[in-house]
Amino acid sequence: MRALVYIGWDPREVEAYEVCKFSLEQRASAEVTVKRIVLEDLRGAGLYHRPTEIRDGRLWDVISEAPMSTEFAISRFFVTMLAKQDDPEIDFALFCDCDFLWLGDIAELLAPLDPEKALSCVKHEYAPSEDVKMDGQVQLSYQRKNWSSLMVFNLRHPSHSRLTTELLNSVPGRDLHRFCWLTDEEIGAIAPTWNWLEGAVARPDSPPKAVHFTRGGPWMPGWDSVDYANLWLDERAKAIELNSLEGV
């Protein structure tokens, strides 16, 4: 089995990206290729031309009329296009936010996927209670929040043909995050343990397969005592020992 993985990259969270990548690769029994999704790379390739601005020190998506908490808020949805260029023979490609700590084997996530579904994700029922998250970013609430933080795209599914550059550059982000190009029946379910939301879901009896520090994580000042922060810090230490923190 081969796995193609895209992780969102933001210049403010380089260390988070590197630990996410390291933790995934260390536990993978499959052959894994991990790539960054970098907003400026997509702009340079002529794929991403949504208008953005800086308002009150925050990146702002003009079409959505909303702030973007990370540079990969929208760019994550270019995965199907990128995957077809990077590995035309592969059937599935996974995206995750950079604020993940992987504790399970990605091969175990991919093996039971329904090949009839266009996209699979953890179908959270989550409405945030906080007004801000991470480093002072606005905590937005929208339909299917956090579903798009971990997505597995079935690259052979014909419905992704609707995910064109025209669509990606013209509709509000909230529509993309609710998978507006798909029907409900085309969205498969992944077990919640693969996208456990720290601070939003009760701590499980045993460690989840992937911890999502969606509110903020140990790489940020004041977030070093949240649930599973000790495991993230241990992973960082291992990565440093093995000289694997490439971008830090």
Instruction: Quick: pLDDT tens for 221-240.
Output: 999 999 999 999 999 999 99
Domain that holds residue 45: 2-241
Question: Could you tell me the pTM of the whole model?
Answer: 0.92
Tell me, yes or no, whether 247 lies in a domain.
no
Tell me, yes or no, whether 133 lies in a domain.
yes
How many domains, in total, are found in the chain? 1
- The CATH number linked to 225 is 3.90.550.10
- Residue written as tokens 């490609």? 93
Tell me, yes or no, whether 15 lies in a domain.
yes
Tell me, yes or no, whether 248 lies in a domain.
no
pLDDT confidence of residue 171:
98
CA angle 170, 58, 61 (to 5 degrees): 5
* Residue pLDDT, tens place only, 128-175: 555 455 555 554 555 798 999 999 999 999 999 999 999 999 999 999
* Residue pLDDT, tens place only, 61-83: 999 999 999 999 999 999 999 99
Average pLDDT rounded to a whole number, residues 43-56 = 96
pLDDT confidence of residue 243:
81
What are the residues whose beta carbons fall under 8 Å from the beta carbon of 99, sequence distance 6 or more? Answer: 13, 16, 20, 212, 213, 214, 217
Region for 18 from its dihedrals, namely left if φ exceeds 0, alpha if ψ lies in -120 to 50, beta otherwise: alpha
